[in-house]
Amino acid sequence: MAPMIPTDDLEEYLRGDSALSRQYKREPAPAPPPALDRQVQRSSSETPVRSPYLAPLALAASVLLSMAPVLAIVFGPQPKQHTDDAPHLVRVAAHAGAAANAPLDRKLRLYSSDPPHTRAPSAWLADIAALRRAGRNSEADAEFRRFRAAYPGYSAGELPFWPQADF
């Protein structure tokens, strides 16, 4: 265990008038050689040396930083699509005649998850008619119910077919 030292020694010394301090000040006080003085004084006016690699590195870093958002979008992880968001395909096995009558871009595909008013009534009715012609009356009825719900004011006279059930 280290021996206890009276704090008075330290306090007396820190007051600055101790015999120890007086003796130390009487000791020779070497100074730096004049040549060293000149060297330091000369170097004090020199501008700090800058690395020649700093400027290109800074440029590269700024370019990389500015491109980071774009790179993050392109190469970053893509958000997963929920399977529930995918449209449900209602496959309609229409016969060749119906397929020929259907518009080219539709190809007799009905998406029950489509918002009702995004489908034109005429196209929707044509699809229902195709279902009827294919003999799939229950599906045609179900589709016609959805059609009615979407377009309740649509005139029955405009229907290209007569519904099987009472709507």
Partner 1 sequence: MESFDEDAGLMARYRDGDAAAFSTLYARHKGPLYRYLLRQVRSSGAAADLFQEVWSRLVATRKRYEPRAKFATYLFHIAHNCTMDFFRRGVRRAARSDHSDAQSPEPEVPEYQRPDGVAEFLEQQSALLAALAALPREQREAFLLHEETGLTIEEIARVTDVGLETAKSRLRYAIRKLKKSLHPVEAHARPLRTRTV
Q: Give the binding site for partner 1 (CB under 8 A).
A: 5, 7, 9-10, 13-14, 18-21, 23-25, 27, 29-33, 36-37, 39-41, 43-46, 48-49
Output 31 or 149, the one with its CB closest to partner 1.
31
Minimal distance in Å, beta carbon 47 to partner 1? Answer: 9
Q: Taking the complex as a whole, how short is the minimal distance between the CB of residue 37 and partner 1, in angstroms? A: 7
CB of 48 to partner 1, least distance (A): 5
Q: Write b or e for each residue in 49-81: b if 16 or more Cβ atoms lie within 10 A of its Cβ, otherwise e.
A: eeeeeeeeeeeeeeeeeeeeeeeeeeeeeeeee
Q: How far apart are the first and last CA of the chain?
A: 103
Calculate the alpha carbon distances from 149 to 105, 128, 142, 165 in Å.
Answer: 25, 14, 11, 15
For partner 1, give the closer residue by CB, 33 or 157. Answer: 33
Nearer to partner 1, 16 or 115 (CB): 16
* CB-nearer residue toward partner 1: 33 or 52: 33
Distance between CA atoms of 35 and 41, rounded to whole angstroms?
A: 10
